[in-house]
Homo-oligomer: A and B are copies of this chain.
């Protein structure tokens, strides 16, 4: 009996700025059961971990108990793979350095690994998705924020401190850029996250006079989904909001290509599912802005994994390599 037979499951936990999703995953990458809670409901991280465990444990027991679980993999913003900590995450309620992997190990007695949520998504995409067989690609996650997982020579890039790959925080507009949750101005994620796109919608509606379906919505409540729905109905202003967003993202991707010259850039998240409204302007801007030697070489792909599954699968994949506590 090999160890996977003895412990046939791993747990993947994806901690997003809004939701925390977790699932039990088998050796073939099937999510056999899953659940979720809101991330922001607990100010104390101990209470948060307790609630995750309270919701997770019944799923584990359903599959035969903790002795069936090989390990837990966690994807989290500002996650440090080397130390299993979350450190100074701007979009999470817990400040400072949080020893999250240890907290799960202590409560459940299961070995736990942790990485950046986007790195986890990249591992998932490399194992099961659009980046299968690729050794050089960049995963860009477009959610509440913009995250990234960079794979070079078949390895996730963690950097000397475990935090590499924060491409949502490269500066796209210097001097007069939008204020970011990180405290700086002009970060990519202030423009190209789902919330950044909604922010663009509000700016456009204030600065411009055209009719738009979006004017029926209270500006404070506009979401990227509203903009997509309006674009599909032929709303020109909504389509222009996607063009504006795609243009900035394409500019950023052109710079990323100058760094690691990836075979592909894989986009993940709700925005990436907005079809040609977003993909055409991204692709045009990327090719218009990229250095000549890279032109036409890097594929622009959309994740092949379901939004909810990719991060959980990726996080869980980390856990197969874990040793006994």
Residues of A within 8 A of B (CB): 78, 87-88, 90, 134-136, 150, 152-153, 155, 157-167, 169-174, 182-184, 251, 254-256, 258-263, 289, 291-294, 297-298
Contact = CB atoms under 8 A, between A and B. Distances in A.
With most chain B CB atoms within 10 A of its CB, the pick from A135, A164, A173, A251 is A164
With most chain B CB atoms within 10 A of its CB, the pick from A152, A162, A167, A183 is A152
Contact of A161 (B90, B160, B165, B297): B297
8 contacts: A87-B293, A152-B153, A160-B262, A161-B294, A166-B291, A166-B294, A167-B258, A169-B258
A182 B290 CA distance: 10
A153 B150 contact: no
Contacts of A291: 166, 169, 182, 184
B293 A261 contact: no
B159 A262 contact: yes
A109 B165 CA distance: 43
A94 B6 CA distance: 62
A312 B216 CA distance: 66
A154 to B, nearest CB: 10
A261 B260 CA distance: 14
Contacts of A165: 258-261
Chain A binding surface, main DSSP class: loop
Nearest to A183: B292
Nearest to A173: B174
With most chain B CB atoms within 10 A of its CB, the pick from A87, A169, A294 is A169
With most chain B CB atoms within 10 A of its CB, the pick from A87, A292, A297 is A292
A293 B150 CA distance: 18
Given A255-B170, A260-B164, A78 B289 contact: no
A161 B160 CA distance: 25
List the 6 shortest-distance A-B pairs measured between CB atoms, nearest first: A159-B261, A164-B261, A160-B263, A166-B258, A136-B160, A170-B255
B261 A160 contact: yes
Given A163-B294, A164-B260, 7 more contacts: A87-B293, A160-B262, A162-B261, A165-B260, A171-B255, A174-B174, A182-B292
